[in-house]
Structure 1
């Protein structure tokens, strides 16, 4: 790559990592925007529960939506971002603005052409995709036909949202975190509008949701364009497979498909197997997975999004001290959030599901089944979030081989655990879907442990002082939070309140009181143990 003087603009040329914003502040910005998106996402799922429930049409839509959405995560939040951001950061650190623009143009051209070809093949072969990803639908003309038809409508979302993810990766690399974090809000708005306004006009109401997915992809991509224009980095697509930067990104991206997205691959395998279980299993897993992903998306992905460009710049600047310090900060933030979130989900699983989804076509039996799988997913929440921050430790250093090895081990383990857990849970208790969630959680811990061990062995991460005191504070605070939450639930029961029979406003208000009380107990316990805001800050320098 040609070397040249930095741009006069501190935003667009090579710059010092000392200009990076504080990680806590950036994480809070992303978390706030993501929280807005996730709240609307929950509202979207409440609408889904009311309009489509857990019937055959719902199962078909969730399969049709999950396939491109899974691939979106590989591109927008996974392999593409992990491969593209380190290379782009290196170009910023060592090259000129012209070199950065050239890289962006050529990546846009090659990525866009590849996605267009994949989308065309998927649209033409929709029935094949249905048979592969939902083999249990074969023989059920209604489910199979609906899923195939909706895949033809929803799959172009992959093209649109992957290009949106490409734009977001550029913005994140220039510390413009708010816009990409806000963009998913538009998906939820589009789907809620489709369900409420358009579904009555379709013979099969779920078809309106498929068109809502397509419309959301268009809107999300268009939303990013003005902000790229402000940075003067609007792509001018150019197909050049021989470009050095493009070839490096492709070389990094191929193995990253396994390393960074194992948990998503496991969730997709869950969908395949769930399609073989009783009707409703796909939907039960969907609703429980959505709730488990709330803390993961609001904070886990937020921290990962912020640290990747910082770690990449620190590696490019040959600053191992700050690199390990950034990772250490991220790990502490994950423990601080993931442990209480997991415990709260286990304790409040049924009240949350009843409050959000027990309306319209969703029955008490559906809520019971979703509660069981939510608790199983909650057990793995810490591991899911750890993976999100440990993987960037490898990708920032452009090491893809180690995460690939770890990913393969975790995937094979998940498949074996599916057999171990699903068969007995299905045949003895008719809750095979819980085994799928439990297997995913256990394999996630194996994944996280192997990533952590790899970083330690390579010397990329060294624990900083203070973990012992930090652990004791967490133990005390989480213990108090559990006591507070259980006490609040018992108190409501003694007052005669029943979650399954309460009105929607009663459920919502009581759940809010319980959650806020538990949160206050957790924060108060941390403060009493000596933790202060300064302990949460980290400056990337």
Structure 2
């Protein structure tokens, strides 16, 4: 399981690095102006549907189902189930895409109510959304093939696919902008073409794995009916973080101009450790726990959850502390150039600090939800998710005026903390999770190492770094100080064992699942 998480994490890291290159270009060319606001809102709509219907609800129901079939009935039966799901998904996604194209203006009245008073910005957002909406169709089918490969313990291709999103976005922005009314149109076309490229990559990877999926006539077979029943509650349960971010965007359109872009840049930085650590761990954990439960290995499932929890805490704590304490410095180094000013960096840095406070709990939600999904329970995360969304909305309304763009970020972090706490409590009460001896020993020590790191960073900012824009050497010095403080204290406190990571890196690639 940890090897799979490492594979996903490395490819996700590559994607995030390219994503930063893309965002740096967008910030330099568009800054936080009206085109940037319109593009980010337009991108949010297909991304919301993708993460709810594709990566979220679909994966939560599909991966445990196909994993169980694969390990109990073999590859042929799993391929048959994947074919049935593909046929239904093509029919369903085609309808959603057509409806999205038709009703785009009405959807944006909901997602971006603040744009309705600016006709030019609203019309631009409508045009860009219609260009990008077909991305939903292609990338949700990509999620299906990713689920097939993940169930077979093949994580590389699925994790590498998002790299193409950034490659095509950068290429179209640099190569097509001169031929379009503004760079937002070029970016939008790059998004849609990247969806097609990702789908073909995953089809190729599935064929290499011995899975050749044909597309039969769509039929609601008993297995497909079960899949849809499990998907329905998972639409909110697995996608609560995305719903929370969407609420942030809605509130952002009601705040001063540029707030949508400020929140976007802050969230993008925050998503780097979340994607590399939390999403990677959750992706690898779900099929692992499902396999243990199918084989009635409850002890192994519990051990997998404990090790995943330790791992995400060990890696997200320093990221959360670093981004919270040095949010402005991060924004200075990444984005201050061209149309992106130092004042904008200060605003985005404050929002980043608020997002980063919730980074460990964001990742814990990713780790804890497989404990429910692997047992076929998507209803409980749904109920908790609904409560978290309502809480997020209430806090957004409470914070939006006094805190401006910091308010949505802080509300998202606090509602995610509520989500993780309730998930953890219910898993424990049902007997599906408890901290084992190793976790009880390591977690408090990790927290202490994090406190030492925070103190070191504060001292560096107050006594060493000059005021004003942070240079790259100064930022590297700050990063080194934080890394030494956390890593050194963690080793001295025996909060983590570097030999375990070394052993993980030396393991051979796992063999394909037996058929």
* Equivalence for 1:189: 167
Unaligned runs of 5+ in 1: 1-22, 426-430
- TM-score, length basis structure 1: 0.90
What is the CA–CA distance in structure 2 between the aligned matches of 1:470 and 1:289, rounded to whole Å? Answer: 29
* Equivalence for 2:252: 274
What is the CA–CA distance in structure 1 between the aligned matches of 2:426 and 2:360, rounded to whole Å? Answer: 18
What is the CA–CA distance in structure 1 between the aligned matches of 2:96 and 2:181, rounded to whole Å? Answer: 30
* Equivalence for 1:519: 483
- Choose the corresponding residue for 2:156, options 160, 178, 184: 178
Q: Which moved more, 1:274-283 or 1:25-34?
A: 25-34
What is the CA–CA distance in structure 2 between the aligned matches of 1:404 and 1:106, rounded to whole Å? Answer: 26
* Equivalence for 1:217: 195
- Taking only aligned residues, the RMSD between alpha carbons, in angstroms, comes to 1.8
- Choose the corresponding residue for 1:403, options 375, 381, 384: 381
- Choose the corresponding residue for 1:533, options 491, 498, 508: 498
What is the CA–CA distance in structure 2 between the aligned matches of 1:39 and 1:499, rounded to whole Å? Answer: 26
* Equivalence for 1:446: 418
Counterparts in 2 of 1:97-112, with a 5 A limit?
Answer: 97-112=75-90
Task: Return the offset for 1:326.
Answer: 0.8
Task: Return the offset for 1:390.
Answer: 0.5
* 2:301 is aligned with 1:323: yes
Deviations 1:215-271 (A, max 9, x none): 111111111122111122132122443312211111101100111111110100111
- Choose the corresponding residue for 1:255, options 233, 250, 257: 233
Contact residue 51 and residue 195 of structure 1 kept, 8 A:
no
Contact residue 86 and residue 396 of structure 1 kept, 8 A:
yes
* Equivalence for 1:469: 441
What is the CA–CA distance in structure 1 between the aligned matches of 2:346 and 2:186, rounded to whole Å? Answer: 28
Unaligned runs of 5+ in 2: 511-515
Task: Return the offset for 1:327.
Answer: 0.8
- Choose the corresponding residue for 1:206, options 184, 187, 206: 184
Counterparts in 2 of 1:21-420, with a 5 A limit?
Answer: 23-420=1-398
State how many pairs are aligned: 504
Contact residue 270 and residue 437 of structure 1 kept, 8 A:
yes
After superposing on structure 2, the runs of 4+ consecutive aligned residues of structure 1 that deviate more than 3 Å are: 486-492, 533-540
Contact residue 354 and residue 499 of structure 1 kept, 8 A:
no
Contact residue 237 and residue 385 of structure 2 kept, 8 A:
yes
* 2:424 is aligned with 1:459: no
Partner of 1:466, secondary structure, is helix
Contact residue 343 and residue 378 of structure 1 kept, 8 A:
yes
- Choose the corresponding residue for 1:482, options 454, 467, 481: 454
Task: Return the offset for 1:475.
Answer: 3.1
- TM-score, length basis structure 2: 0.94
What is the CA–CA distance in structure 2 between the aligned matches of 1:261 and 1:126, rounded to whole Å? Answer: 21
Task: Return the offset for 1:498.
Answer: 5.0
What is the CA–CA distance in structure 2 between the aligned matches of 1:234 and 1:498, rounded to whole Å? Answer: 59
Contact residue 262 and residue 407 of structure 1 kept, 8 A:
yes
Contact residue 355 and residue 499 of structure 1 kept, 8 A:
no
What is the CA–CA distance in structure 1 between the aligned matches of 2:472 and 2:499, rounded to whole Å? Answer: 34
Q: Which moved more, 1:335-344 or 1:512-521?
A: 512-521
What is the CA–CA distance in structure 1 between the aligned matches of 2:100 and 2:228, rounded to whole Å? Answer: 22
Task: Return the offset for 1:152.
Answer: 0.8
Contact residue 90 and residue 312 of structure 1 kept, 8 A:
yes
Contact residue 310 and residue 443 of structure 2 kept, 8 A:
no
Partner of 2:405, secondary structure, is helix
Deviations 1:462-518 (A, max 9, x none): 22113343134213322332233334444653xxx5552x6xxxx334323422332
What is the CA–CA distance in structure 2 between the aligned matches of 1:472 and 1:458, rounded to whole Å? Answer: 24
